[in-house]
Structure 1
Amino acid sequence: MRIGILGTGSMADALGGQWARAGHEVRAGGRAGGLREAAEFGTDAVLLALPYAAVADVVGGLADVLRGRVLIDCTNPVGEGFALLTAGGPTAAQRIADAASAAHVVKAFNLCHSGVWRLASPVFDGRPLAVPLCGDSEPALDVVRRLVRDVGCEPLNAGGLDRAGLLEATAALLIGLWVGEGADAQAIAPPLRYAAG
């Protein structure tokens, strides 16, 4: 696949590096230059890996290029004190979808630090990491499912794009627990066989 990456930070480097090792062609561009070129390059998928504050403007400026593209949103609208910046308003994913209304937005890869995406095989206690996906286009979801598997993880259907806010709120909660409290957030949920009582 040809994957364009909007951003040159740690998430862009981690995921882009894994996809390149899996045999995909990858091109990244940053705010200092190359964003349009990266978006044009990503004929199969475009990863949006910019700070949340910049995404709507950047995506809006590239809406013509992003028409019909799979646009993967890994952003987290988390601010000071681990607050969810989109509380009471449209989700980050919805703002992105509104700014590039002809793109197929899929929320994914937002629940883990870039260090996790650099692991050769994100398997913990014998279980591959699951990556929740929210999106409305089945063909776009299929593309992202393949990219999830190419980093050694398992895709998990989390619903339509209208549920992306749940992933964003989960990220705010987990970041607050991990960073703010030093807690093992994985310990908050029991194994599936115990979840239903």
Structure 2
Amino acid sequence: MITGRTEGKARALAGRLGARYGGFEEVAAFAEAALIAVLYQGMASTLVRIGGALRGKVIVDCANPVEVEGFTLVTPPGTSMAEEIGRVTGGHVVKAFNLCHERVWRMDPPVFDGRRLVVPYCGDDPAALEVARRLIADVGGDPLPVGDLRHAHHLEAMAAIVISLLFGGRDPHTVFNLVGRAEVSAGG
């Protein structure tokens, strides 16, 4: 099921994907897992519309709380949008899929120079982390766990850099595909 703040766009997306459209609470109640992809400006009102329907469920957060004038985070230092989503919904949040332009996710699979795209993710709940790992692998990515949900603010800060590169004219297919698993694992 698909929902959205703009009903017409959400209905059109549902139609293209062969999914059903529903209201926020209906979709949240239906979902075993939910992907939240909302601009930070609309996150608070979206979470209010969802209500408690995601309590205890897996939530994958791919949103980035980045303002694009100075490419800085709008969350207080050391906190993350992902943690706030967890506090408000009572769901098991995993931060993932937030470091690439949407065009990269249209690649089937996202492979660069013969290497699968490395997709960092973090969260606290083992079952939710497993759902995210499977989703990343299912789209052809190379899942890279980077810690518990406290690390979400690092992924969101990395996104601010990626977004600034995109706004600076970098090709969306080359912004973050330069990091390999061995380089990340070795700390380089």
Structure 1 length-normalised TM = 0.77
Deviation at 1:164, TM superposition (A): 0.1
1:93 aligned onto 2:82: yes
Aligned residue in 1 for 2:65: 77
Deviation string, structure 1 residues 92-136 (Cα, Å, up to 9, x no partner): 111111111x21011111001111111111011111111111100
Aligned residue in 2 for 1:23: none
State the alpha-carbon separation in 1 of the partners of residues 167 and 27 from structure 2: 32
Q: CA RMSD in A?
A: 3.0
Aligned residue in 1 for 2:93: 105
Asked if the contact 2:121–2:146 (Cα under 8 Å) also holds between the matched residues in 1, the reply is: yes
State the alpha-carbon separation in 2 of the partners of residues 187 and 123 from structure 1: 9
1:169 aligned onto 2:147: no
Aligned residue in 2 for 1:48: 36
Aligned residues: 179
State the alpha-carbon separation in 1 of the partners of residues 130 and 101 from structure 2: 23
Partner amino acid, structure 2, of 1:45: A
Partner amino acid, structure 2, of 1:135: G
Asked if the contact 2:99–2:155 (Cα under 8 Å) also holds between the matched residues in 1, the reply is: yes
State the alpha-carbon separation in 2 of the partners of residues 62 and 187 from structure 1: 34
Deviation string, structure 1 residues 59-98 (Cα, Å, up to 9, x no partner): 2442421111101100011112322222526311111111
Aligned residue in 1 for 2:104: 116
Structure 1: stretches of 5+ with no match in the other structure: 21-25
Aligned residue in 2 for 1:37: 26
Change (3 A) 1:6 1:136: farther
Structure 2: stretches of 5+ with no match in the other structure: none
Asked if the contact 2:118–2:181 (Cα under 8 Å) also holds between the matched residues in 1, the reply is: no
The answer to which of 108-117 and 77-86 deviates more is: 77-86
Asked if the contact 2:73–2:160 (Cα under 8 Å) also holds between the matched residues in 1, the reply is: yes
Map 1:58-69; keep pairs closer than 5 Å: 58-69=46-57
Partner amino acid, structure 2, of 1:95: E
Partner amino acid, structure 2, of 1:55: M
The answer to which of 67-76 and 81-90 deviates more is: 81-90
Deviation string, structure 1 residues 133-157 (Cα, Å, up to 9, x no partner): 1100000111111111111112110
Change (3 A) 1:41 1:162: same
Which SS does the other structure have where 1:152 is aligned? coil
% of aligned pairs identical? 45
Which SS does the other structure have where 2:94 is aligned? strand
Which SS does the other structure have where 2:43 is aligned? helix
Asked if the contact 1:77–1:85 (Cα under 8 Å) also holds between the matched residues in 2, the reply is: yes
Partner amino acid, structure 1, of 2:182: L
State the alpha-carbon separation in 1 of the partners of residues 178 and 136 from structure 2: 24
The answer to which of 46-55 and 187-196 deviates more is: 187-196
Structure 2 length-normalised TM = 0.80
Map 1:15-30; keep pairs closer than 5 Å: 17=17, 26-27=19-20
Partner amino acid, structure 2, of 1:86: T
